[in-house]
Amino acid sequence: MKTRNILMSLGLLLPLGCGDAGSDTTDNTSTDTTTGTTTSSSATSAGPSPSTTDDATDATDATDATDDSGTSGTEPDTAGETMSAPDPVCGDGEINGNDECDDGPDNADDAACTSECLIAVCGDGLVQAGVEGCDDGDQNAPGGACKPDCKPAICGDGMVHAGVEECDDGNPNNNDLCLDDCTLAFCGDGFVGPGEGCDDGNMIDDDLCTNACTLPGCGDGILQGEEECDDGNMEDTDACTNACTNAVCGDSIVQEGVEECDDGDPDNDDDCLDTCVAATCGDGYVQDGVEECDDANMDDTDDCVGNCLIAVCGDGFVQEGVEECDDGNDVDDDECSNACALPIPTASCDDLLYTDNVWGQAATGVDLRAWTNSTLHYIGCMGNGCTSNTFYCNYDVDNEILQFGTNSNSAMRAMVDPNDANGDTMAGSFSGCCNAALGLCNSPDMNNNNVAVNGGGTNIESLCDALGYENGQLLTHVSNNTCPEPHVTDAEGLDWQSDFQSSSGWGKAYQCSTFK
């Protein structure tokens, strides 16, 4: 209203001092002493006088215009009243009334003094040029687009702009929890942040930095570099060791369910073989301090028995080709001697006496087939020569003596079967003196047909040796009768032959003594 009144006053006063060029103007001014109203009239040849009807009330408050000479155009009325000064207004350059400031024409909404003559302050909703970057009035806030200090929210100002920034720690450090672009740090952002061992900004898991932002290492479950394997655990006994190498025999780590042992060396004489199998008897390797031998078999009859001990007499196992027996004891007079030899059978009369037909004749004598490898079958009497009732056999077990022969002066007969050509056959007939196997020969005498005995001794000693005695001798013999005789070739009496050539003499009685 103040501005409006000033403008109206100025409108009333200005016509009073102005006119068209070349016009003849006369000022007639009068004051109504009753009403206090000043009336002005001018005579102008160029046009009608202005009407004051409508503006009478306003003109009362108006001030006379002052001309260039400084003379007032209005005179006081007779009552002494004068025109009042205009009301103060914002913009007049004067601080009046409610004005906080008034820079006149410099008042502006972006100036230090606003168009309403208020001092510009942050938060008034007006952006003061050169001072404020923004001003959203009561919307200014730490999380708003305009901060409480009327500065625009920017990344790095330390305030999180809601809906725009994820974070704002006010520093350019990219190694903390908030990056310099005001986004939260994360694994894969390319910056090593808290709790990260590395961050290469990619999603390649087998390079120098894993996708979990940890430095690669054995046990992270990612195969990389020189690793043979990586199972991501610290179990050393599975297929991948804690050194990220494939489990192998010889790595000194026992792989569960696969290896029995693993001592990390190639020796096969200790308790773990180079195949990572526990050493056992029968594996073919001699375990030092445990086994005497190991031939990789369970055969107890060779030189290394099944418990990996060297075969010896007395171990209870008969070593083939070496021992005749092995009863595992130290009793020497049982069925197996302490030398692991079977007792040498010692022939008695009960073992030898044979009464049956020989060469088709009733005969009595000794059956030698079982004692001579069936090469000398028989010595005795069968009627052609001495008769069967003249044959005798005496056995003295206490004195270890065996005697057999005939008490007649007729020849005893013998049956030879060189090389056991006919097996255990006893001849059922004869035709004169022997000229072939199983024929009718004389019993052997000391001459042995002039054949040397292999191993020494006499033919009678060889015969007694075959019968289980250490000694043998021909007690009596007869020089007549010229049928061929058997002869022995070995000291054990196991190989009897004949040249089937007639020779005089024959053995009449024999004695064997001392058990072997």
- What is the three-class DSSP state of 419? helix
Q: Is 189 exposed, middle or buried (0-12, 13-18, 19+ CB in 10 A)?
A: middle
For the chain, the structural domain boundaries read 1-87, 349-515
Question: DSSP secondary structure string, 138-167?
Answer: GG--TTSSB-TTS-B--TTSSS--TTT-S-
Q: Which residues contact 409 (CB under 8 A, 6 or more apart)?
A: 478
Tell me the β-bridge partners of 487: 497
Q: Which amino acid is at 35?
A: T
What pLDDT is attached to residue 390? Answer: 97
Digit-coded pLDDT (tens) for 229-253: 999 998 999 999 999 999 999 999 9
Q: Which residues contact 120 (CB under 8 A, 6 or more apart)?
A: 111, 112, 113, 114, 126, 128, 131, 132
Give the whole-angstrom CA distance, residue 411 versus residue 391.
11
Give the whole-angstrom CA distance, residue 271 versus residue 280.
8
What pLDDT is attached to residue 49? Answer: 38
Q: In 3D, which of 387, 385, 384, 396 has the Cα closest to residue 355? A: 387
What pLDDT is attached to residue 257? Answer: 94
Give the whole-angstrom CA distance, residue 45 versus residue 24.
6
Give the whole-angstrom CA distance, residue 406 versus residue 402.
14
Q: In 3D, which of 510, 450, 438, 449 has the Cα closest to residue 482? A: 449
Cα-to-chain-centroid distance, residue 151:
63
Tell me the β-bridge partners of 304: 310
Give the whole-angstrom CA distance, residue 232 versus residue 218.
8
Is residue 401 within a helix (H) or strand (E), and if so which, with residue range? strand 401-406
What pLDDT is attached to residue 449? Answer: 86
Give the whole-angstrom CA distance, residue 475 versus residue 404.
10
User: What is the phi-psi region of residue 102: left when phi exceeds 0, alpha when psi lies from -120 to 50, beta otherwise?
Assistant: beta
Q: Is 411 exposed, middle or buried (0-12, 13-18, 19+ CB in 10 A)?
A: buried
pLDDT in tens, the chain (516 residues): 333 333 333 333 333 333 333 333 333 333 333 333 333 333 333 333 333 334 333 433 433 333 343 334 444 444 455 566 677 899 999 999 898 998 999 999 999 999 999 999 999 999 999 999 998 999 989 888 898 999 998 999 899 998 899 999 999 999 999 999 999 999 999 999 999 999 999 998 888 898 999 888 899 898 888 899 999 998 999 999 999 999 999 999 999 999 999 999 999 999 999 999 999 999 999 999 999 999 999 999 999 998 999 999 999 999 999 999 999 999 988 889 999 998 888 999 999 999 999 999 999 999 999 999 999 999 999 999 999 999 999 999 999 999 999 999 999 999 999 999 999 999 999 999 999 999 999 999 988 988 999 999 999 999 999 999 999 999 999 988 899 999 999 999 999 999 999 988 899 999 999 998
Give the whole-angstrom CA distance, residue 355 versus residue 357.
7
What pLDDT is attached to residue 332? Answer: 87
What pLDDT is attached to residue 87? Answer: 78
Q: Which amino acid is at 61?
A: D
Assess contact for 28 and 40: CB atoms under 8 A. Answer: yes
| Phi, psi (degrees; rounded to nearest 5) at 218 | -65, 125
Q: What would the two tokens of residue 225 be? A: 């570099």
Q: In 3D, which of 338, 342, 337, 386 has the Cα closest to residue 361? A: 386
Give the whole-angstrom CA distance, residue 62 versus residue 186.
77
What pLDDT is attached to residue 43? Answer: 31
pTM to 2 decimals? 0.45
Q: In 3D, which of 424, 434, 422, 420 has the Cα closest to residue 506? A: 434
Question: DSSP secondary structure string, 197-222?
Answer: S---SS--TTSSS-TTS----TTSS-
Q: Where are the beta strands (DSSP E) in 163-242?
A: none
Q: What would the two tokens of residue 14 be? A: 């200005």
Instruction: Give the strand pairing for 391-396 and 25-31.
Output: unpaired
Sign of CA dihedral 293, 298, 301, 302: negative
Give the whole-angstrom CA distance, residue 135 versus residue 150.
5
Q: Which amino acid is at 7?
A: L
